[in-house]
Amino acid sequence: MASRSLLLLLLGTLGALCYHKAYGISVKTDNQHVTAKEFQEAMLSCKYSAGKGIIPRVEWKKLSSRDVSFVYYKGDLVGDLKGRAEMIDSSIRIRNVTRKDSARYRCEVSAPTERGQNLAETIITLTVLVASAAPSCEVPSSAMSGTVVQLSCKENEGSPASEYKWYRNGVALLENTGTGSAKIGNISYTMNKKTGTLLFNTVSKKDTGEYYCEASNGIGLPQKCSVKRMQVGRRVLTINIPQVKRISSTPSPLLFRRFQPL
């Protein structure tokens, strides 16, 4: 009797395991971190397996810092991807990606079961690479010798962020990577390749020249701003001489009348 009870318990356990397996859903992706150049295509992979007889529902959502929006809902592509993407099984191929497509995407596969709703998901991060644009440069047209002078260079289109290099009369001012200072000939400066600033702590007349900046992030060709000339002149020492109040030599009419003879 005890053996029969044990056998029934084992059969029930195996039945429960088989039941769970039959109604289980698993989801995976071939690539969790997708990168694509702007205006090319990107594949967001989502593959699932489900128990026999289960017809799962597939949904895609875009997860931005502000909100969550549907990308694929009730069998149709919606939102920004409608008209420029297609479903391949449960994966999405996006044509002509733009920088606005950079985000995290969640593939959700669900199915109702006798035990309730069964849900599995995977998240894919899409990064759209954007080439650097022509930077904006600020170069003073003139400066006084011995003063602090800063040149700036910036562009905001590139993804990843651009790095910068300055040129004087067509020659790169700094060839090594990273942030650093250098002295080439009689030119002393500090250049930050991350922020694009070129700083002269004590500019001299020999720093006169034509300057331009180049922005690059490895996507496409480097871009540069227009050449601008900086003329450094000698500082003129000025001496302020206090003004002496001039006393009029013309006698006062009152004095004239006072000493006039009777």
pLDDT in tens, 146-185: 999 999 999 999 999 999 999 999 999 965 334 445 555 5
Determine the Cα angle at 214 with ends 129 and 164, to 5°: 70
Is residue 173 within 8 Å of 184, Cβ to Cβ? Answer: yes
Q: In the prediction, which pLDDT does 186 show?
A: 52
How far is 153 from 212, CA to CA, in rounded Å?
Answer: 9
Query: What DSSP string describes 193-254?
Result: TTTTEEEESS--GGG-EEEEEEEE-SSSS-EEPPPEEEEEEPPPP---PPPPPPPP-SPPHH
12/255 Cα distance (integer angstroms): 134
The candidate with the shortest Cα–Cα distance to 84, out of 104, 65, 102, 98, is 98
Bridge partner list, 112: 117
CATH number of the domain located at residue range(s) 24-129 in this protein: 2.60.40.10
Per-block mean pLDDT, blocks of 10 residues, the chain (262 long) = 45 37 75 96 94 86 91 94 94 95 96 77 96 96 94 96 95 60 63 93 92 96 96 74 60 50 49
d(CA 44, CA 36): 11
pLDDT for res 253: 54
Six token digits for residue 33: 């971190």
* Site of tokens 């039945």: 15
**Number of C-beta neighbours around residue 149 at 10 A:** 20
Q: Would you state the pLDDT for residue 53?
A: 75
Phi, psi of 28 (to 5 degrees): -145, 165
CB burial of 3-33 (b: ≥16 within 10 Å; e: otherwise) equals eeeeeeeeeeeeeeeeeeeebebebebeeee
Cα distance between residue 174 and residue 206, in whole Å: 17
The arrangement of secondary structure in 136-233, i.e. its CATH architecture, is Sandwich (2.60)
The segment(s) of the chain belonging to CATH 2.60.40.10 are 24-129, 136-233
